[in-house]
């Protein structure tokens, strides 16, 4: 797999770099402020409750400095931690955030809040892929939706870009 940095250089469409490792092989793309969007975090917390998933996460800036450690995603502490994340990432960097559950079933990365981000999952782990299938597709674009929009995206970003995107992220596993 090519490094994400090499894929998107010179493109108007940018995604985070320096986080993908081979065990994360199933992806959802998003364009809201990761770790800063109260509505998303509330819905995500509810989803984790519903599925019985680990709600404990670590949040880092894109230089891998811990911003919030062992945060349990609960409605009553969301605003306090959003303020902390926003304050630290804006004071010491570009606002980029990495968020992952402490079991590393998923990792989400957004290098700056105005760019697209990626939720990455491990298809080899049942909990990871189960969460992927439960995620609300109104919040995300999966690779299948990218394929459905291919003609529009080719006009906007070029065929080479779309081919690289699909070849690097197009390995979604079938539903269990």
Tell me: the pLDDT tens digits for 134-143? Answer: 997 788 877 7
In terms of Cα–Cα distance, which of 145, 133, 138 is closest to 170? 145
pLDDT of residue 175: 34
Q: What is the pLDDT of residue 18?
A: 40
Q: Locate the DSSP E strands across 6-130.
A: 26-30, 56-61, 66-72, 97-101, 106-110, 117-121
User: What tens digit of pLDDT does each residue of 65-106 get?
Assistant: 788 889 999 998 899 888 888 887 766 666 678 888 988 889
pLDDT less than 50: residues of the chain = 1-19, 171-176
pTM flag (> 0.85): no
Q: Residue 92's pLDDT is what?
A: 63
H/E run at residue 43 = helix 38-51
- Smallest Cα–Cα separation from 117: which of 141, 93, 83, 145? 141
């Amino acid at each position: 797999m090519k490094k994400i940095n090499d894929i998107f250089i010179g493109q108007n469409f940018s995604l985070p770099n320096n986080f993908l490792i081979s065990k994360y092989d199933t992806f959802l793309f998003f364009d809201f402020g990761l770790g800063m969007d109260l509505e998303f975090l509330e819905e995500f917390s509810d989803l984790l409750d519903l599925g019985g998933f680990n709600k404990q996460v670590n949040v880092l800036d894109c230089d891998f400095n811990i911003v919030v450690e062992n945060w349990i995603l609960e409605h009553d502490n969301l605003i306090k931690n959003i303020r902390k994340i926003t304050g630290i990432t804006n004071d010491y960097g570009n606002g980029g955030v990495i968020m992952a559950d402490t079991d590393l079933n998923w990792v989400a990365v957004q290098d700056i809040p105005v760019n697209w981000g990626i939720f990455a999952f491990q298809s080899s782990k049942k909990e990871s892929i189960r969460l992927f299938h439960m995620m609300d597709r109104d919040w995300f674009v999966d690779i299948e939706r990218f394929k459905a929009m291919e003609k529009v995206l080719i006009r906007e970003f070029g065929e080479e870009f779309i081919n690289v995107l699909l070849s690097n992220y197009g390995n979604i596993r079938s539903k269990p």
